[in-house]
Amino acid sequence: MDHSYRGALAGDKGSRGRGGRPGFAPAYAPLEPEPLPPNDDANSRIFAFVDDLFFQAKIQETARKLNVKVEFVKNEKDLLERIKLNGEEKPSLVIFDMNNVNAKPLTLIPKLKTKLKKTSIIGFLSHVQGDLKQKAHEVGCDMVLPRSAFSQNLPQLLRRHGAPEDEASAE
């Protein structure tokens, strides 16, 4: 059988993107959001109940690139102390690793929802934990994402919630 046509197709990358299958678009890489202007004296508006070192590093690195301050807290008392240090400014986002047993997210989220009415609460978990996702929504979590979706959307989430009040309301 004559396979000489393969040589001619190997040079044709036009419809094949980066050497992928013919007829399929090249891989899409989402654009990173613009970093916020640096503000060293700004209070942290984002708090995270995350004890997984991998996700802590990922959140810290993304926040650093965007000039957003994120504080990691261990329990409710720690969070309330840090909020008091911020003065009147309430956090705009609280992130929960729904598998963080030290934070007890299913009991803490309803308490935070009553104290911090305008604060968004986002949880992330393994994609196979459907029951936990349902419970998180029931106790007041505004959004519950699989770990992969959380990682993918992290820059946009931090950018939106890390912006000062006047800039955040303009968006």
Instruction: For residue 152, name the pLDDT band (cuts at 50, 70, 90).
Output: very high
Would you state the pLDDT for residue 146?
96
Question: What is the value of pTM for the model shown?
Answer: 0.73
Q: Cα-flanking dihedrals φ and ψ of residue 144, to 5°?
A: -125, 120
Coil, strand, or helix at residue 115?
helix
Q: How far apart are CA 148 and CA 162, in angstroms?
A: 21
Q: Which amino acid is at 59?
A: I
Helix (H) or strand (E) holding 61: helix 53-66
In the predicted model, is pLDDT for residue 118 greater than 70? yes
- Contact status, residue 146 vs residue 20, Cβ threshold 8 Å: no
Would you state the pLDDT for residue 168?
46
DSSP state of 35: P
Which residues are paired to 72 by β-bridges?
A: 48
Give me the mean pLDDT over the 15-34 stretch: 58
Which tokens belong to 117? Answer: 């009415």
pLDDT tens sequence across 51-96:
999 999 999 999 999 999 999 999 999 988 888 877 767 899 999 9
Would you state the pLDDT for residue 169?
47
Half-sphere exposure of 118 (CA within 13 A, CB side): 8
Would you state the pLDDT for residue 149?
94
- Contact status, residue 96 vs residue 103, Cβ threshold 8 Å: yes
In the predicted model, is pLDDT for residue 36 greater than 80? no
Instruction: For residue 113, name the pLDDT band (cuts at 50, 70, 90).
Output: very high
Give me the mean pLDDT over the 8-28 stretch: 56
Q: How far apart are CA 95 and CA 127, in angstroms?
A: 17
Distance between start and end Cα atoms, the chain: 61
CA of 136: how far to CAs of 27, 30, 65, 144, 148, in Å? 33, 28, 30, 7, 18
